[in-house]
Copies of this chain bind each other. A is one copy, B any other.
Amino acid sequence: MSRIVLIGAGNVATHLGIALSKSGNEIVQVYSRTDNSAIALARKLDTEFTTSLSSINRNADLFLLTVSDDALSNVLKDLNVGNNLLVHTSGFLSMDALARNSENYGVFYPLQTFSKSRSVEMRTMPVCIEANSEKSLGILKSLARQISDDVRNVNSEQRRKLHLAAVFACNFANYMYSVAAQILEDSGIDFDILKPLIAETAAKIQDMIPLEAQTGPAIRGDKSIMDAHLKMLEQYPEFRAIYKLISTEIEESHRHFAVGKRTKH
């Protein structure tokens, strides 16, 4: 059982806070810059809150930074946790960003997309950990295992790559859903009709590689359909640009893939 202070009260803090608390740890305090968020999360976790970094409770084992990467440097400027274990949850920032704040530091990066209104299956969620000592790494490992079955040692360099890949696989994939939603809305068609397709598209790559799972006009090189789609997109210049760019890349990537397959056999 660890005593944990949550610094930040957004989606990551909420989901991790609840999971860590459920698995028997004590969230001793929540910090947020704004009253509302601090109070809301402290209430959920049945704990104290503060909106002042100078009032952070230093009597804890772990200080978990969940503020956005943008806000982090400002928080670190005013944060004093002594030499207690200080950990951030960012996919992007290097572990060393914390080196000036404590002798004991690390990273606890949950690779998942969190939204306020949705609970997430945590046991299958990869948690990427890193620390500046074996002892701290051990603490983070046992903590991570309490909430997930997939705990991995990932260094800062790899984590950055992972985070970049996640932007494509999650953020940009979701943007594709929203383009589809917009086109359907403008045609008076309910977005619901696409849900089984979206579910199956994601399910496919659970056991196929994405290049093999690719379907559609671009991979078939079907110029007449692609030209017709570009014409249909004339009222959406931005979607049209995306359609053009990605279709070209799908055709390209398939050429390389096909050549690779041929040379392998």
Contacts and interface: CB of A to CB of B under 8 A. Distances in A.
Contacts of A175: 210, 214, 246, 249-250, 253
Interface in A227-255: 228-229, 232-233, 238-239, 241-243, 245-246, 249-250, 252-253
Contacts of A239: 168
Contacts of A174: 201, 204-205, 210, 213-215
A152 to B, nearest CB: 7
A253 B172 CA distance: 13
A222 B168 contact: no
Contacts of A164: 183, 229, 232-233
A178 interface: yes
A220 B198 CA distance: 25
Contacts of A121: 196, 200
A interface SS class: helix
Contact of A222 (B69, B160, B184): B69
Interface in A184-222: 184, 187-189, 191, 193-220, 222
B69 A225 contact: yes
A184 B165 contact: yes
Number of copies of this chain that the complex holds? 2
A118 interface: yes
Nearest to A238: B249
Taking residues whose C-beta sits less than 8 angstroms from the other chain, chain A's interface range is 35 or more
Closest 4 CB pairs of A and B: A171-B216, A202-B202, A178-B210, A169-B180
A242 B249 contact: yes
Given A70-B224, A169-B198, A175-B253, 18 more contacts: A70-B220, A112-B197, A113-B215, A114-B215, A167-B243, A169-B177, A169-B194, A169-B201, A171-B217, A172-B246, A174-B205, A174-B215, A176-B176, A177-B205, A178-B210, A201-B202, A238-B252, A241-B245
Contacts of A188: 158
Contacts of A154: 189
B211 A178 contact: yes
A161 interface: yes
